[in-house]
Amino acid sequence: MNLRPHVGLTFDDVLLVPKRSAIKSRSLVSTSTYFSRGIQIAVPIVSANMDTVTEAPMAIAMARAGGIGVIHRFMPIKKQALQISRVKRVESFIVEDPLVISADAKVSDARQMLEDTKVGGLGVLDSQAKLIGLITTRDILLETNLNILVKDVMTTLDRLVTAPVGISMEEARAQLHKRGVEKLPLVDEHGTLQGMITTKDIIKLEKHPDATKDEKGRLRVAAAVGVRDNDFERALACVNAGADALVVDIAHGHSDMAIKMVQQLKRRLPDVDVIAGNVATPEGVHDLASVGADGIKVGVGPGSTCVTRSVTGFGVPQLTAVSECSKDGQASGVPILADGGIRTSGDIVKALGAGASAVMVGSLLAGTDESPGAVIVRGGRRYKIVRGMASLTANIHRREIDGHTDVHPTDLEQVIPEGVEAIVPYRGGAKETIIQLVGGLRSGLSYCGANTIQSLWESAEFIRITPAGMIENEHHDVQAV
Ligand code: XMP
């Protein structure tokens, strides 16, 4: 028998040993980390690519909170691309396609357009489609003669503040503030209007200071893809819709198929970060990193809805898997995402202490408003449904997406589920859950005297505990109210 010499441990087998701390307040620690080589996130939490966890509403909530969501792949390609573009459109500091009107149009037309679209101003173009002014609601609010022309009431170009294409959000903000204007048209060297930045949009963005945003101020989002023939098409559609990263999502990520897919994506879409998984060994990390993976998901069987370990006998207890994989990940500069089995903020601190850059969370977020699916009531309590992506019902759903509407009962006998469907308590908005998790993480960092996740990697020290220790961990000998 070929037996690894050490014991595999998971979250409940250990505790972190408190360290001397100079941290005066939990608010002073940084939870900033990397989701992938190129994508930094302020909060090390990623919502799982499961069909009961992440579609556009969850991805929006996650990115606003400083994490990121991975839109699952168990839907037609077009629908997944649409989900991505919903996330990308919800916030932006640049209006890329600003509304325009001809200088010779009537004020009545401008008023109608402003009313219909609920925007505050229109770019005014001459017959050559060059920007020659701006007309805002204020310009026409008190105008009684609606037959006069836009060019007679607009603010002309010489009185406007414009900016070049490519201006940063900070510069734009400073210009808007200094010049006391509400709109900053972006004009190229030919005098053509290429975009608009508004004070209103910037204020909206600043409501979420930790939000995970791209260079245009849009929320970031990742898309899961598989390894089948049409999955490159899926990847391309998601990237064209604005996906910031792709997650190659298969149960056994240390496989030739996953390695090939990562290779293909890196070759054909070199500007997009590719995260791959799932693996549970340093060998798996090495093989995916060596073909260019920009992030690696670690976890075979720890998830709340997973039965892979009992069905196949395979897996590595999650804390040991994360710890061993992180050594290779850190050495090659590839962030490790601890995927599965996170139940508390304490588990997050342990996963990060073991070397992960971030954690992926499924069922803990499945009970929130932003996850797909309705709230159900049982015995007077509210719940939502979560299901493993290898569960029987997920399998049936997948066949339907693939166009097999005539699934015969005997077909299903061939399905060997490696996941279950379950109910989880309804938890309200995802934001509240994230606040609790991040609060616990901040507290955890301060117990370790670590003001960053990187310093937690260096100072974290674990101690193994016994079943008696586990009982001591929870409240005991009292009845909680
Ligand atoms: P949690 O514990 O956060 O775990 O709900 C989420 C992760 O579980 C994995 N997952 C599965 N694993 N069979 C498995 O073995 C499944 O059916 C299944 N569905 C999800 C996945 O890695 C996810 O992110």
What lies within 8 Å, CB to CB, of 184 at 6+ separation is: 161, 162, 163, 167, 172, 175, 176, 196, 197, 198
C-alpha 326 – ligand 1 centre gap (Å): 20
User: Quick check: CB of 342 below 6 Å from ligand 1?
Assistant: yes
Closest approach atom of ligand 1 to CA 304: 2
How far is residue 196's CA from residue 127's CA, in Å, rounded to a whole number?
A: 20
The terminus-to-terminus CA distance of the chain in angstroms comes to 50
How far is residue 265's CA from residue 269's CA, in Å, rounded to a whole number?
A: 5
Closest approach atom of ligand 1 to CA 48: 24
User: Quick check: CB of 279 below 6 Å from ligand 1?
Assistant: no
Q: Whose C-alpha lies nearest to ligand 1, atom 14?
A: 306
Domains, the chain, ordered by start:
11-90+219-473 (3.20.20.70), 100-207 (3.10.580.10)
User: Quick check: CB of 301 below 6 Å from ligand 1?
Assistant: yes
C-alpha 387 – ligand 1 centre gap (Å): 8
Under-50 pLDDT residues of the chain: none
C-alpha 187 – ligand 1 centre gap (Å): 48
Position 369 scores a pLDDT of 98
How far is residue 64's CA from residue 87's CA, in Å, rounded to a whole number?
A: 10
User: Quick check: CB of 289 below 6 Å from ligand 1?
Assistant: no
What value, to the nearest 5°, has the Cα angle with vertex 89 and ends 87 and 91?
A: 90
Evaluate if pTM is beyond 0.85: yes
Q: Whose C-alpha lies nearest to ligand 1, atom 15?
A: 306
Position 400 scores a pLDDT of 81
Which residues are known to be catalytic? 306
Contact of 329 with 336, CB cutoff 8 Å: yes
User: Quick check: CB of 69 below 6 Å from ligand 1?
Assistant: no
What value, to the nearest 5°, has the Cα angle with vertex 325 and ends 322 and 330?
A: 110
User: Quick check: CB of 388 below 6 Å from ligand 1?
Assistant: yes
Position 448 scores a pLDDT of 97
C-alpha 235 – ligand 1 centre gap (Å): 21
Q: What is the pLDDT of residues 230-289, one digit of tens each?
A: 999 999 999 999 999 999 999 999 999 999 999 999 999 999 999 999 999 999 999 999
Position 407 scores a pLDDT of 67
φ/ψ (deg, to 5) at 395:
-65, -45
Contact of 258 with 238, CB cutoff 8 Å: no
Closest approach atom of ligand 1 to CA 360: 24
Position 288 scores a pLDDT of 98
C-alpha 388 – ligand 1 centre gap (Å): 6
Q: What is the pLDDT of residues 67-105, one digit of tens each?
A: 999 999 999 999 999 999 999 988 877 888 888 999 999
Per DSSP, 18 falls in state P
